[in-house]
Amino acid sequence: VSSAASSPASPGACSICRYLIVASVIAGTSWLGAARTAAGALALAVHLENRAIAAYLDALPRLTSPDLRGTAASMLTSDAEHLVVLRRELGEDPVPSAFAGGAG
């Protein structure tokens, strides 16, 4: 990741990464009150993972560095995998859509 972030062919990449981090923190703090129960905490986690996936899908077309695109896609995929575990814990279908984030 560090080598990708330092790539000279990725102008704006750092600001996009900062946006992803800040968006995750803001989403988390605004939902903390809902996480008082196990189901609430799991639902919060599902919400955060979906937000993160949506942010990665928005960021991918704006990233110019091939290495950063690959890294972002691998992180998006890991977040999509988290959803499988979380949905199972909630008793839901773990893979309800053919497209992570609902994009087609």
8 A C-beta contact, residue 77 and residue 67 = no
Alpha helices in 1-104 (DSSP H): 2-5, 13-31, 38-59, 66-89
Q: How near is the Cβ of 36 to other proteins at its closest, in Å?
A: 26
Q: How near is the Cβ of 21 to other proteins at its closest, in Å?
A: 15
Q: Around Cβ 47, how many Cβ atoms within 10 Å? A: 17
Q: How near is the Cβ of 98 to other proteins at its closest, in Å?
A: 4
Applying the rule CB under 8 A, the residues between 28 and 87 that interact with other proteins are: 53, 56-58, 60-63, 66-67, 69-85
CA distance 31 to 40: 9
Binding residues (CB under 8 A) for other proteins: these are: 1, 53, 56-58, 60-63, 66-67, 69-85, 88, 94-95, 97-104
